[in-house]
């Protein structure tokens, strides 16, 4: 069957508007391209039936659907389903919003030390997504199925996976690498490690970091312990794995550095892994990072045959039992009902991919899909979105006026690239009497500079952080009340993650998007993909804009001078 475009030609005809006396709202649908050949009923010419059809623009899909279904050809819904195939287990998600927050006292099985650790973090109850994951892991679900979570930014996904892992490992005897958490960026890894540290350390569990922050040697020393000669001779000296011991129970890693350890670090092994978490899954699956995922999955395929171990094996079964991993057993179809060791996986994102081609790489075991609400993209409940319409050439002026109107509030300004971030930050710093401290954060900077900037921003040393999309995913900075999209994001996913740096954990927040008039339509279109997508216009007092005009002009002159100076220097 031909594609919809071939069947129907839609034209927003201004000449027609004159005829019907309405402005641009009418669409002329011409069924001109539907040939007898592409039509399943020969001898039937639709052009004869629907030569011209006028309707309101918003009714177009319905009109097309009814026309085509009258013809018995096709239904719009079917086409949509066909173009976006969804894995069967994704069709029937569990709605996380139906779970209620649970006070810590009433969380079943929660380890008292873990409860205390949470209270020390100022947490008195679990959020809905945390309750849902707890039920499927520590609770009756008992980790029997892999967990896929699609829940809004700031809804508490980090603790949702950290708590069950820590609770399950609280009874561990031998220290081995049991849980691996993979995240896309270094700063996010540091943040996730801090969360794990807060809940895992009180239970005596060690958390490691593999991100390339320190030198490789330091990192290796923090992850793997080389056992003394005596220790290794207790067992088969040929077994290299017995000469090393993991110093950590849980490892938070970025894919690149994880691969470095897999490939080069002696004694670094994933063979004892129980839990694998892939945070920001859609981002991690989009980039191959030296095939980290297939490598991890292959290395965690247990060679552990304890369950079928003969009694006279060496080392003896009882000794090996202490050292080797006995994972949760699952029964897989086609496995002839034999139990087999299984790695439990949790994958999470605020914009989880539905692409079967991508998800299949995770090799999930009877996955359970937990989603907040009905739509794929959901913005935080207490987020207010605004559009700020202005001409391109005065964008910096409007930005400054907006920042001024927001007063002392912490704010992140997103731009489209690392270069734009650098230039915008430079220009803003040319506004002499702005009285707003502004710093830049982008992938162009050295990691050390970036981390320092982030720490200062967290502590409130300065108010406005101008950032590229390096800050978009997962970063949690307390007290950010406003996000400004200086450059309009291209995709709803980017909008969701940028806006999600505010209105976290039930707090209120605002997201302003600067755009020119001709960008409004595109913005409206992609916002329709998100739940709660109303986006009124925000206007700034014209007196404020007027007052800033002169300062803006002198800032521009200063900025140009700086740029030419920098160019001269670069030439010399």
Ligand X SMILES: Nc1ncnc2c1ncn2[C@@H]1O[C@H](COP(=O)(O)OP(=O)(O)OP(=O)(O)O)[C@@H](O)[C@H]1O
Binding residues for ligand X (CB under 6 A): 123, 125-127, 130, 153-159, 350, 474, 476, 500, 504-505
Diameter of the chain measured on Cα atoms: 95
**Cα–Cα distance measured from residue 351 to residue 493, given in angstroms and rounded to the nearest whole number:** 6
Nearest to ligand X of 133, 343 (CB atom): 133
Nearest to ligand X of 188, 548 (CB atom): 188
Nearest to ligand X of 123, 527 (CB atom): 123
Smallest distance, Å, CB 364 to ligand X? Answer: 20
Nearest to ligand X of 166, 427 (CB atom): 166
**Cα–Cα distance measured from residue 380 to residue 153, given in angstroms and rounded to the nearest whole number:** 7
Nearest to ligand X of 123, 251 (CB atom): 123
**Cα–Cα distance measured from residue 433 to residue 523, given in angstroms and rounded to the nearest whole number:** 33
On whether the CB atoms of residues 276 and 180 are closer than 8 A, the answer is yes
Q: What dihedral do alpha carbons 523, 525, 529, 530 form, nearest 10°? A: 40
Nearest residue to 489 (alpha-carbon basis) of 287, 351, 372: 351
Smallest distance, Å, CB 425 to ligand X? Answer: 23
Residue 358, sorted as left (phi over 0), alpha (psi -120 to 50) or beta, turns out to be: alpha
Smallest distance, Å, CB 452 to ligand X? Answer: 21
On whether the CB atoms of residues 235 and 242 are closer than 8 A, the answer is yes
* Residue where the block lists tokens 């026309």: 67
**Cα–Cα distance measured from residue 33 to residue 384, given in angstroms and rounded to the nearest whole number:** 44
Smallest distance, Å, CB 448 to ligand X? Answer: 23
Nearest to ligand X of 187, 476 (CB atom): 476
**Cα–Cα distance measured from residue 408 to residue 261, given in angstroms and rounded to the nearest whole number:** 44
Q: Which two tokens stand for residue 19?
A: 């005829």
Nearest to ligand X of 74, 161 (CB atom): 161
Q: Which two tokens stand for residue 356?
A: 């079967």
**Cα–Cα distance measured from residue 269 to residue 244, given in angstroms and rounded to the nearest whole number:** 10
**Cα–Cα distance measured from residue 377 to residue 152, given in angstroms and rounded to the nearest whole number:** 8
Nearest to ligand X of 123, 515 (CB atom): 123
Smallest distance, Å, CB 479 to ligand X? Answer: 10
Nearest to ligand X of 8, 252 (CB atom): 252
Smallest distance, Å, CB 145 to ligand X? Answer: 21
Smallest distance, Å, CB 282 to ligand X? Answer: 11
Q: Give the ranges where 265-315 is alpha helix by DSSP (H).
A: 281-286, 292-300
Q: What per-residue string of b and e applies to 145-162 under the rule 16 or more CB within 10 Å gives b?
A: bbbbbbbbbbbbbbbbbb
Nearest to ligand X of 192, 209 (CB atom): 192
Nearest to ligand X of 176, 207 (CB atom): 207
Looking at the DSSP bridge assignments, the partners of residue 263 are none
Smallest distance, Å, CB 534 to ligand X? Answer: 21
Q: Which two tokens stand for residue 239?
A: 């077994």
Q: Beta strand pairing status for 147-150 and 329-330?
A: unpaired
Nearest to ligand X of 341, 474 (CB atom): 474
Smallest distance, Å, CB 528 to ligand X? Answer: 21
Q: Beta strand pairing status for 147-150 and 250-253?
A: unpaired
Smallest distance, Å, CB 180 to ligand X? Answer: 17
Q: Which two tokens stand for residue 541?
A: 């007092």
Q: Beta strand pairing status for 340-341 and 26-30?
A: unpaired
349: CB partners within 8 A, 6+ apart: 149, 150, 279, 280, 281, 282, 283
Nearest to ligand X of 163, 176 (CB atom): 163
Smallest distance, Å, CB 267 to ligand X? Answer: 32
**Cα–Cα distance measured from residue 556 to residue 487, given in angstroms and rounded to the nearest whole number:** 19
Nearest residue to 158 (alpha-carbon basis) of 346, 401, 338, 15: 346
Looking at the DSSP bridge assignments, the partners of residue 226 are 244
């Amino acid at each position: 069957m031909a594609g919809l475009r071939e069947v129907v030609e839609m034209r927003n005809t201004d000449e027609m508007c004159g005829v019907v006396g309405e402005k641009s709202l009418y669409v002329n649908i011409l069924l001109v391209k539907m040939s007898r050949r592409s039509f399943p009923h020969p001898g039937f010419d639709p052009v004869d039936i629907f030569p011209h059809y006028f309707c309101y623009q918003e009714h177009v899909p319905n009109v097309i659907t009814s026309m085509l279904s009258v013809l018995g050809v096709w239904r719009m819904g079917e086409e949509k389903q066909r173009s976006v195939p969804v894995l069967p287990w994704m069709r029937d998600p569990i709605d996380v919003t139906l779970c209620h927050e649970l006070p810590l006292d009433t969380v079943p099985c929660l380890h008292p030390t873990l409860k205390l650790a949470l209270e020390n973090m100022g947490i008195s109850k679990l959020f809905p997504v945390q309750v849902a994951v707890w039920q499927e892991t520590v609770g009756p679900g008992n980790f029997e199925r892999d967990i896929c979570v699609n829940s809004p930014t700031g809804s508490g996904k980090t603790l949702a996976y950290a708590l069950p892992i820590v609770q399950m490992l609280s009874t561990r005897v031998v220290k081995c690498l049991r849980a691996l958490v993979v995240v896309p960026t270094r700063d996010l890894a540091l943040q996730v490690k801090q969360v794990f540290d807060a809940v895992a350390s009180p239970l005596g569990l060690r958390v490691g970091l593999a991100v390339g922050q320190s030198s490789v040697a330091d990192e290796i020393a923090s992850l793997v312990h080389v056992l003394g000669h005596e220790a290794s001779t207790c067992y088969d000296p040929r077994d290299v794995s017995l000469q090393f011991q993991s110093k950590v129970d849980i490892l938070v890693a970025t894919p690149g550095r994880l691969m470095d350890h897999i490939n080069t670090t002696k004694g670094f092994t994933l063979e004892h892994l129980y839990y694998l978490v892939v945070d920001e899954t859609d981002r991690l699956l989009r980039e191959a990072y030296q095939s980290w995922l297939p490598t991890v999955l292959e290395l965690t395929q247990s060679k552990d045959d304890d369950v079928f171990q003969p009694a006279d094996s060496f080392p003896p079964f009882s000794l090996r039992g202490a050292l080797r991993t006995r994972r949760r057993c699952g029964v897989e179809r086609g496995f002839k009902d034999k139990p087999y060791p299984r790695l439990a996986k949790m994958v999470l994102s605020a914009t989880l991919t539905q692409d079967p081609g991508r998800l299949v790489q995770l090799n999930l075991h009877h996955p359970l899909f937990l989603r907040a609400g009905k739509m794929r993209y959901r913005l935080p409940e207490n987020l207010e979105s605004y559009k700020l319409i202005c001409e391109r050439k005065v964008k910096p002026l409007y930005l400054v006026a907006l920042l001024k109107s927001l007063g002392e509030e912490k704010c992140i300004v997103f731009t489209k690239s690392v270069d734009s971030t650098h230039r915008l930050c430079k220009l803003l710093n040319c506004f002499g009497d702005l009285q707003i401290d502004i710093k830049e954060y982008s992938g162009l900077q050295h990691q050390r500079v970036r981390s320092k900037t982030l720490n200062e921003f967290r502590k409130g040393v300065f108010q406005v952080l101008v950032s590229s999309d390096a800050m978009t995913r997962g970063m949690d900075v307390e007290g950010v009340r406003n996000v400004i999209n200086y450059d309009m994001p291209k995709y709803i996913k980017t909008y969701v993650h940028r806006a999600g740096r505010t209105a976290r954990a039930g707090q209120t927040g605002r997201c302003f998007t600067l755009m020119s008039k001709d960008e409004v339509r595109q913005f409206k279109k992609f916002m329709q993909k998100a739940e709660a997508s109303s986006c009124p216009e925000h206007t700034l007092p014209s007196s404020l804009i007027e007052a800033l005009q002169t300062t803006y002009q002198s800032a521009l002159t200063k900025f140009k001078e700086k740029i030419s100076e920098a160019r001269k220097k670069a030439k010399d």
